[in-house]
Amino acid sequence: MLVSEVIAMRTGSEPATARSPLRMRLWLSLWGMAWALFGLVAFALNGRPGWAAACAVVLLLAVVDLGVITYRMRQGPHYQPGRGVPPYEPDHGDGRPRRPKRGADGGRPGGGGTGPFSGRP
């Protein structure tokens, strides 16, 4: 491999720093609610209780999803950053993001340190 090649590496924090397109989910949820309500009414009026029940289940799922979406949107940009806020390391309880501890080896994994877990006396 050439030194000039750049490979995108995973950081391991993607699930914690992932962003959800909440506005798109909001509109898709509203669209799904409208069609499910239309299907529920149409199938109920035409005497198709099975299909009406299926539309009612889809309507219920869309309403629950809409509730989750509005809850997350009201949490603000700290929990759901927008386009102008870059991803950040998540909070680990003490108010500061966790960083790798730097030792005598400069923070490189598996090298330089001494202690009970380093493999060196």
Whole-Å CA distances, 103 to 14, 96, 121: 26, 19, 16
Residue 106 DSSP class: S
Report which residue type is found at 30.
L
Read off the pTM: 0.53
Tell me: the pLDDT tens digits for 67-119?
999 988 887 766 565 566 665 565 666 655 555 555 555 545 555 555 555 55
Tell me: the pLDDT tens digits for 5-19?
555 555 655 665 566
| Interatomic CA distance for residues 103 and 52, integer angstroms | 64
Element (H or E) spanning 80, and its range?
none
Q: Is it the case that residue 29 has pLDDT exceeding 80?
A: yes
- Position 41 scores a pLDDT of 97
